[in-house]
Chain A
Amino acid sequence: MSPQRPRSRASRRRGNTAQKSPRTLTPPTRVEAVTDSTPPAAGAVSESPPPAVTTAQRAPVNGSEPTDGDIVLIRPRDPLVLRDARPFSSEPGARAISLPWPLPRTVAGTMRTHIGNNATPPLDWTTLAGPTRARRETVSHGPLMVGQDEADGAWHAYVPGPRDVVFYRPENKKETAEDESKELKAMVLRPDSPDAAECCDMPSFSANDAEKSRGYELAFANTALRPLLVEEDVKPEVDVPSWWRLDHAVAWLNTTATEPPDSLFPYAAPDPDKPGAPQTLSGLKPLPADTRVHVSIEPGTQTNVEGALFTTEARAFRDAPVAASDSEPGEPALAMLCKVRSTIEWKRDDALVPLGGERRISSLVMNDDDALWPEVTYPSMDQFEAATGLRLLLVTPALFRYGWLPAWLGNSTIPGLKGEKVGGKLVGAAIDRRIPVSGWRVAQRQDDDNKETLSGPRRTCYAVPAGGVYFFAFDKPMERTEAEWHAVWDKLWLRPVSDHGIDCDEGFGLVLPGLWRDEHMEDAAQG
């Protein structure tokens, strides 16, 4: 869906830092974040994510106070160095590998620093007070991938391709020159019938598990895991976009059909100039890696060290849209979008900030009329009524207490849905291999024993990668009005579901809600 936006072309800016008149702002009215984002006591599971972000769009009036956080468009001016955790030095053959997309924490940290530097008065980074305050009083949700087309100048959100559908090219049975058809087909992955679960080793709670806590057992108690039904042995097409436009993803999430029509998927329109070309999906490829070869310099002589070549890799954001030509489709300019709330008083001017490694510069564009936080899109009432469960698509990586398994399952409710009674058991998941999340703690901090520790590497955590889909089955048929359903959607839309408040505040585990219909369960029941 395209975000609701005013058509004032005058206010349109392309990532330059043209100034709005400097504003002094009063603190945002919503202050719940402060209490909510306080790190939970060790071992405690955060009951809820940060406070409700109402989905009503902020009033798009220049100079008015955003009531719902600031929407920050982050436009990298240089390719970003987003190093993985491997140590890196300039020794011969060394290579700095960049993550394909910044972790939420990277962006949250940048925003906290920026807010602290621009606070009145600026936060004092030399003591613990400044960093602690910045962390406790700032919430950053994102980054979302956004793209700007040549055509309308608006920034549209993209989300990682959902893992509960696989695209493939069916093999031609006939002996033709081409082995595979040019057409793409979608194989929908849904939890198989419950019988299937008895024929494989789905994860389960065992008293021998290293993690023997009661919470772990409770979380498992609220699962009835089934494998996903793979109907055909296909070779997944690898050349599919890793990012879908948000509206395409939402159409997919809202459907309850197990055999959805082709029109539901973002198949690219056939190119009239290239008849017979293989069908493709529209969306974005991963950011290209910008690889640079460097040579070490001998400090004494300022000459190069023989053979000491090393390589750095960075991720390049296309800085201006490429217009469609006769032979090539257009390509959008790319940037990141982030929603930031802070109770710290700070100057909300456009700015240049370093982001990621090597102090590569990004430009922050504050509250641009063309870059709005995506507005919630609701399924139709028919879709709500046909559904037998919820789906959650992870838009950013999620950190859960028990690895892949959310601890909040033990509370029988998805965070934010307390009192809504739409929970149900977790019956399946389509999630890829874990990704490590660590980083470098710049600020000093107090450890559990109240001792100050130095800055240094953070411990590794494992996150469920974005694009993962969790399936929940309602315990009983839901009888809710449209307004009630919308209230549920409002509470889930682009909201974090990580277990710990601090992770939620950094933007880990943002989800898009979806629906599904458990036809394999029905088949099993009938059969």
Chain B
Amino acid sequence: MSGETTYLLAIALGPVQDFIAASRKARDLWQGSQMLSELSTTAAESLESDPDTELIFPTTTSLGQKHAVANKLLVSTTGNPPALANAARAAVQKNLMDMWDDLKPIIDTLPKDTVDPPDPQGRRVAIRQVADFIEWYAAWVPYDPGIDEIEDPLSYRKARKRVELLLAGRKALREFTPAAGVDMRPKSSLDPSRESIVDFDRNANPQAVRTLRLKGAEQLDAISLIKRLTGKNRFVSTSRVAIDPFIRAMEKLDPSRLATLKTHAKALRDTDLVEGFNPGEGSGLTRYAAFPFDSQLLYESSAESARKTLEKEPGAPPTTMQQDAVKNIFALIRGFTDEHREWRELPAYYAVLRADGDRMGRAIGALPTKKDHQDLSIELGKFAEEAGNIVREHFGAMIYSGGDDVLAFLPLDTALPCADTLRRKFSEIIREALAKHPKVEQPTLSVGVAIGHYAEHLQTMLKRSADAEKAAKGPRNALAVTFQAHSGGGDPRIVVHSWDDDPVRKFWATAIEFHRHETLPDGAAYELDALRREFRDAHKDGVFAADAARGLTADQVAGELLVKETVRILKRKRVKGGAAKVQKEIIDALALRLAPQPAVPVPDPDTAETPPNIPPEIDRALDVLGKFVDEVIVARRIARLLGNQTSEAVSLWNKQSEALRPVAMQSGDVAGTEEQP
């Protein structure tokens, strides 16, 4: 015991961004997240092992749980803060070095110097790469735990604020040591700031390629190799997540065929074509047990291309059994899709979901005592754990769940109900956690969902999901959805709805119903989008003029025309093979979204005339129309997946949306009988 001064010690460890950026595959990302969480845990455990130190963020309780530990730590201590911080840092450093040492048995099975060969001076880079990796920042301030007065400068609350600011000031200087670079070596495929340690002749050594789980011409640095080889279990690929609705359908409609598919997949296991993973308890992947394999083979467009892919494998030529398995898998899928025509196009799109609590910092800052923070810390741990369950229930794969942060991959058919369930659970837990503090504003959850093709570059998908989350964070308490077709150009639009508007039920489920019941023709969305662009450009060029007679600005004139034009286009459209018009209710509903009417028009007391409807400003109308178009386009893909299955996915939607009924289906299918003007 160093006497009587008590300190708050805050530590930030990293790099987080580099870890996220250094991933091309889902498993790299997942493993990086696991690794960072493990290092944070090591730091927390080192601090906790000191008898004079008490954990706050994370708490001792949450350390033992399944969810991730965040990379920012806060403790209270009567010990010596710099010494504690240094010891924790050393423990983290040692843990990382141990991870590297743990690879030695694997590396030692390969010919000498296959991995991390010495440079001309005899130096090896791997150890230096591992030693230089951790970023570490610490700050501490004294406080008096006996003071309850929250405005007292020595109070816990003030001290916590001060230590956070001090840490931020410390982090302004992101120091680094010189690189451990070596000439004439390619750089890592995952992190361009480090040299590869696996630059050997791939054709001469196919066994090493397999042992190190390298793909193609991939190069890895020491940290990336730890990520690649440390995991006891593998993680699912984006394609496995994307195709999950198909597997579920197969499981339901034709379980024996699925069993055969599994047998063939097993025959190819651990070639480059098929990788198995363990969907056992605790893996977080139990929902994928029906087909625990990653394979692009399912997507092969022809048996021929599948065979070619197999032949490109390094090493020994494929065995007859393997060749047969490839053929059989193709035939099997084809057989199923021939029988079930609605699955002709395999689901290739998936969603990256990111969620983050709004104004957590403010809520944390408003809580006065250490105990309050520890309680909140435990509650956030509960949410992190619940979030894991929710994502699993929705057939998703959790990458990271810690505190108020979630990053997960989800199949397209369940992503939006999952987002909705997450935010409800978050609000519920926060409400309980802050029940004793009615004055503290309750944080909400903002969720960004990026939908894209499984073969889209992972970094691109992560960037889009981050953009979506940022868009949701603009208004806060919102859901932002972004979608881009594979090889589609341009910036995808982001559709943002406040959770207050219950968007999954009111907008997304409705739009999905349009498709399921063919109440809106496919072409309508694209035509409306073209209209939107036309109006936007015309507006930019100043085509519209004010209407002085009616007292309308140019913006209003344009808005009015846009609404009329939208209605005209929809009235022209035919659905159900040309048999029916678009329902009037749908057209009216959209017109109303574009130009909301005052609830009750108030007559002018002088003239007793009801004022005319005020046309919407063009910018707003364009924005709403854009949202509508995106809703319809994205919903179309989801609707196809939901198809006519009555699977769990549909019930998940139903749970969210009471009943998947379109806004105006009650009147039957005799839609839109009125004549066009």
Contact = CB atoms under 8 A, between A and B. Distances in A.
A433 B176 contact: yes
B316 interface: no
A192 B251 CA distance: 64
A234 to B, nearest CB: 9
Interface stretch (A86-94, A146-154, A355-363, A390-398): A86-94
B542 interface: yes
B177 A210 contact: yes
Contacts, number: 183
B457 A453 contact: no
Interface string A280-317: 00000000000101000000000000110101000000
Interface stretch (B159-167, B375-383, B422-430, B558-566): B159-167
Interface in A419-456: 428-436, 438, 441, 447, 453-454, 456
Interface string B163-203: 01111111011111111011111111110111110000000
A257 interface: no
A200 B139 contact: yes
Contact of A211 (B178, B182, B187): B178
A401 B170 CA distance: 22
A199 B175 contact: no
Contacts of B195: 459-460
Interface residues of B, number: 70
A227 B173 contact: yes
A91 B177 contact: no
B140 interface: yes
Contact of A327 (B196, B217, B540): B540
Interface stretch (B98-106, B130-138, B275-283): B130-138
A89 B175 contact: no
Which of A430, A438, A447 has most B Cβ within 10 Å? Answer: A438
B492 interface: no
Contacts of B672: none
Contacts of A84: 192
B216 interface: yes
Interface string A331-373: 0000000000000000000000000000000000000000000
Interface stretch (A30-38, A48-56, A128-136, A402-410): A402-410
A497 B85 CA distance: 34
A434 B542 CA distance: 47
A429 B173 contact: yes
Interface in B466-490: 470, 476, 486-487, 489
Given A87-B217, A227-B166, A326-B542, A433 B15 contact: yes
B459 interface: yes
B584 to A, nearest CB: 34
Given A200-B138, A233-B161, A431 B184 contact: no
Given A201-B82, A201-B138, A460 B173 contact: no
Contact of B193 (A199, A326, A436): A436
B609 to A, nearest CB: 30
B365 interface: yes
Given A309-B487, A432-B174, A92 B455 contact: yes
B476 A179 contact: yes
Nearest to A211: B177
A460 B189 contact: no
A291 B463 CA distance: 14
Contacts of B486: 309
Contacts of A307: 301, 305, 455
A201 B170 contact: yes
Contacts of A87: 186-187, 189, 196, 217-219
Nearest to B7: A199
A462 interface: yes
B301 A434 contact: no
Contact of A462 (B18, B137, B173, B193): B193
Given A91-B217, A92-B455, A438-B187, A228 B172 contact: yes
A328 B536 CA distance: 13
A262 to B, nearest CB: 23
B361 interface: yes
Interface in B294-327: 301-302, 305, 308
A462 B166 contact: no
Contacts of A461: 178-179, 181
Given A91-B217, A233-B161, A405 B459 contact: no
A186 interface: no
A415 to B, nearest CB: 18
A404 B176 contact: yes
Interface in B505-548: 540, 542
B169 A227 contact: yes
A192 B170 CA distance: 10
A159 B194 CA distance: 28
B141 interface: yes
A473 B297 CA distance: 65
B217 A89 contact: yes
B24 to A, nearest CB: 8
Interface string A226-268: 0111111100001000000000000000000000000000000
A163 B173 CA distance: 10
B181 A460 contact: yes
Which of B176, B183, B361, B460 has most A Cβ within 10 Å? Answer: B176
A395 to B, nearest CB: 19
A87 B202 CA distance: 15
B124 to A, nearest CB: 14
A86 B21 CA distance: 12
Given A86-B188, A457-B184, A462 B141 contact: no
A85 interface: yes
Contacts of B173: 202-203, 225, 227-228, 404, 428-431
A360 B421 CA distance: 49
Contact of A457 (B176, B185, B455): B185
Nearest to B457: A95
A192 to B, nearest CB: 6
B219 to A, nearest CB: 5
Contacts of A480: none
B170 A227 contact: yes
Contacts of A189: 169, 172
Nearest to A177: B475
B241 to A, nearest CB: 16
A306 B24 CA distance: 21
Given A84-B192, A85-B192, A86-B188, A202 B170 contact: yes
A199 B183 contact: no
A201 B140 CA distance: 9
B170 A200 contact: yes
A458 interface: yes
Contact of B141 (A171, A199, A231, A233): A199
Contacts of A93: 24, 455, 457
Nearest to A435: B193
Contacts of B217: 87, 89, 91
A440 B302 CA distance: 40
Given A199-B139, A438-B187, A461-B181, A429 B172 contact: yes
B176 A462 contact: yes
A46 B15 CA distance: 32
Contacts of B165: 230-233
A367 to B, nearest CB: 36
10 contacts: A87-B218, A91-B216, A93-B24, A200-B169, A203-B173, A404-B174, A431-B172, A433-B15, A433-B18, A457-B185
Interface of A: 84-87, 89, 91-93, 95, 97, 163, 171, 179, 189, 192, 196, 199-203, 210-211, 225, 227-233, 238, 291, 293, 306-307, 309, 311, 325-328, 401-405, 428-436, 438, 441, 447, 453-454, 456-462
Given A433-B174, A460-B194, 18 more contacts: A86-B190, A87-B187, A87-B219, A95-B457, A192-B169, A200-B140, A200-B166, A227-B139, A326-B542, A403-B175, A405-B175, A428-B172, A428-B173, A438-B192, A456-B184, A457-B187, A460-B181, A462-B178
The 4 lowest CB-CB distance pairs between A and B, nearest first, are A459-B181, A436-B193, A227-B169, A85-B192
